[in-house]
Chain A
Amino acid sequence: MNFFQYILQNHEEVLELTLEHLGIVAASILLSVLVGIPLGILISRRAGWDKPVLGGANIIQTIPSLALFGFLLPLPWIGARAGRLAVLALTLYALLPLIRNTYAGIKGVDPAVVEAGRGMGMTGRQLLWQVELPLALGVILAGVRVATVTSVGLATIAAAIGAGGLGEYIFRGLAMVNNQLILVGAIPAALLALLADFSLGWMERRLQGR
């Protein structure tokens, strides 16, 4: 049975696993945005916090994904469900691009513009919301884009711990030495990554073109 026949005959399962895949990615990106962007803002504000936080996020990135799943397994509540584990692991991986880009985006705002704002009596909060974040938005979005594309790829490994997603096909295909089956997982995953890249890139350009 070739690739297309398989997809046609099992389109319900393919769709289900694709949605599961997307769900894992969406949940982890949402979480990492909620944690990473505030952290990035915080370390741009407090002298001396940038190195340790960025260093920590960097170290997480270097942990191999299967090992990270293993480390997280003993955690209460999280370790009880494979889906939770996968979301947490992907969230941790996505933190670095988000923290780093938020930090770099804010630090990259022209200091003359920030000082002009301060000189006119804007408060720290007004500067952040009206000047620094809007001007850093393009760079922050680029971080979200990198994190999303990487997560779509990484999420295939979540199948190894039984979290589902398109990785199911890849692992099944590997076990059965069936290349067609591997492609049933790999091609939709690649398409998802391209789609995410394209749509976030489009948003980024729109915001920067303002």
Chain B
Amino acid sequence: MAKSTEAWGSRVGLILAMAGNAVGLGNFLRFPVQAVQNGGGTFIIPYLVSFLLMGIPLLWVEWAMGRFGGRFGDHSTPFILDNMTKRRFWKYFGVFGIFTNMGVMAYYTYIESWTLTYTLKSLKGDFLGVNLDQLDTYFNNYVDLGSGINFPVWALLAFLITLTINIYILSRGLSAGIEKVAKIAMPLLIGFGAFLAIMSWTTGSTGRCDDCSTFIGLNFLWEPDFSSLANPKIWLAAAGQIFFTLSVGMGTIHCYSSYLSQRDDIALNAMSAGWMNGFVEIVLGSAVVIPIAVGYLGLDWVVDNAGFMMAFKTMPFLFDQWGSIMAVIAGVAWFGLLFFAGITSSLAMGTPWMGFVQDEFGWTKNKSAILLGIAILIMGLPTILFFEKGVFDEYDYWTGTVSLVIFALAEVILFAWVFGMDKGWKEITDGADMRVPRIYRPIIKYVTPLFIGIIFLTSLFKPLNGELSDWSTAFNSFTSGQGWPWANDSIINQIFHINTGVQWMADGALTNMFYIDMSRFFLLACFFGLVAMVKIASNKRKKAA
């Protein structure tokens, strides 16, 4: 096993890199949409409760596990987990901490490349005077929608450029690469976000329709509906949002903190990075997309159309309403902000692989980064070429959703129950620059695993619609022998296609399900490829011992 010479330059740099890891496109696009769909202002209550009971504990657990692994010279989750127990199989759970990142990086870099293209196009003024239909057409042409198999030349080129930028930065290492980027990107991101938030708050009523006012948008987002607190669906949505926004269950936090020594703080660092992410999401993220859209398109339009694609298909039109100069500035700020949010996250996703191959195979930083680039290119191409077939969404579902929950559940059980809370608590509090509330000891042991366990089980067996009443209906249906009414997005139904049946051909042509299933097999092959690499590394260690 090779000895790493990597280190962080400064504490602030580490926190900014860690916050950059957490702050992503979802802070500006997923959070407000989730809030709108789940009780408006009330959503923040389960969101903050989930942050306190699941988010903060997981942050501390992951920071502590990473620093613990770093003591043994390990900088990726397979061997970080392996150090915590005598049972050898745990290191294979750690494979999720590399696989998830590579899977997500494959499609995330593609979205990141859209933001880069849109930043440049905004700067050139290409979106001045465009309407919503033109923006829709432009995006569809850009990703080559409508042609069955997509071959978007410019989008592919932008993807290659974005991937090359990522790989170059990763090859520079932690302090000279990732940290330097975070120190520039995070302040700019916050500055751009603050500018857009101020523009949103000061726009007010636009007179374009009866309810066209950014204040109505803010009201829509923050008006509490306390009756919705009794709905478990809202709690699950809030817990899910906490998961994705903090980038927990991925393996990146372990990797970043594994370069810390035992005497250095992790408790305060984790809180600082976690709350910084919360600030970007709750204060800035909630102020931009929904309020500005309501300000110019009205509430009804937003209720019908709120979603991720608003970033590309709607925002340039809205900025255009501010006049040509402000449209250019706001466009650059918006897409620049998304690019910075994206790249600070995708760089973090590259580090577990970098740490793993440098530690276990002694590869240089350049070689590790180039091979990562090739792997991401191969993994990313299906999401681009078969975008329309649902492959992109399939990657997001398995690597960006399911894998996270499985790994987080495994790691918190390992930390609290196998490694043990006595040792675990010591790991969290060693070198701490803040008093860690003792209440978190039982929370980490009982509440957090229960919380994640419920999320996992409800995702696994989710019945049609997923409301509380649907669960009792589903149980009644099951006990009366009529079977379980699976929701389409339940994990079991996704695996076995229960609701639709397996259908790879229709009318003599391959169906979307064929492409989706092939992408699953491909992801599975990638996962087992990484398992094989961990096995080889493990054998090398045994021989060297």
| B partners with A | no
